[in-house]
Structure 1
Amino acid sequence: MIHITRRERFSAAHKLYRSDWSMDKNLEVFGKCSNPNWHGHNYELFVTVKGDINPETGFLIDLRVLKEIILVEVIDKLDHRNVNIDVDFMQGKMASTEVMAVEIFNILAPKIQEEGATLHSIKLCETENNFIEYFGK
């Protein structure tokens, strides 16, 4: 079995808040991330797939295909968007990096499976110091 990782980048705005909480409670729990005027990050997304090498092609997965799946299903929906408002797969969900990582995994896993590989993990870097890794359930 081999693992291959593809990196993509996107910029997006979000805020962490609960509409059923007061502004003070949101500030207490989420700090400056609850700013009513939003804030943004330059994210890095690492998508790692695993499987066996196809003896006919020498590939686990065609990286052009993997890139296209990631761009169409994730990056085009997130890049230069407001995660809380604009992103279909984040509607009604907390716009945390943790939730985004899980949702991205859930979107990509079946698409990658169709190409004969298995999604191993998602690593979503919010800052150079903070990142989430998700390996599925």
Structure 2
Amino acid sequence: MSNHIRITKQFSFETGHALYGYDGKCKNVHGHSYKLSVTVIGKPISDSTNVKFGMVIDFADLKKIVKEEIVNVFDHATVFNKNTPHVELAKELQDRGHNVLLVDYQPTSEMMVIDFAKKIKKRLPSHISLHSLKLQETESSFAEWFDYDNI
């Protein structure tokens, strides 16, 4: 019996973005109240002398990783694809004291969730795996990343 357990922690952050070259309203700078669900999988610690006995991962440890890698970086920032003319707009905003993130991808929920997966996976302890991410952009729209889709 392997007893793999999935643990999920939810986060929220406010981020602005614009989709360069897009044929709809989202080509304009706008923002979302993102909700991110991070699910990891592992076996609960069976060593009764360990302070984390019975836990797959301490929620506080997972929170620290996701806050440092994602939430603290993206919250109240505006994200632009650095490979587009949006870099001019980004520079103007930065010059005016705005928090701007330049990424090497189109900042859609789909591409953001791929970026987030890479960053979180690098920080997880070796006995814990990233199972899935769900990035909710609006009440009715979200992107999901699953480890088993990317093996």
Give the TM-score range, shorter chain: 0.7 to 0.9
- Cross-structure match for 2:44: 53
TM-score normalized by the length of structure 1: 0.84
Where in structure 2 are the equivalents of 1:14-29 lying within 5 Å?
14-18=17-21, 26=22, 29=23
Q: In the alignment, does 2:15 pair up with 1:12?
A: yes
Bigger Rg over Cα: 2
RMSD over aligned Cα atoms? 1.3
Letter in 2 for 1:117: I
- Identity over the aligned pairs, expressed in percent? 35
Q: Aligned-pair distance for 1:92?
A: 2.2
Q: Aligned-pair distance for 1:73?
A: 0.7
Runs (5+) with no aligned partner, structure 1: 19-25
- Give runs of ≥4 in structure 1 deviating > 2 Å: none
Where in structure 2 are the equivalents of 1:54-69 lying within 5 Å?
54-56=45-47, 57-69=53-65
Runs (5+) with no aligned partner, structure 2: 48-52, 81-89, 91-99
Q: In the alignment, does 2:89 pair up with 1:93?
A: no
- Cross-structure match for 2:85: none
Q: Which structure is higher in strand share? A: 2
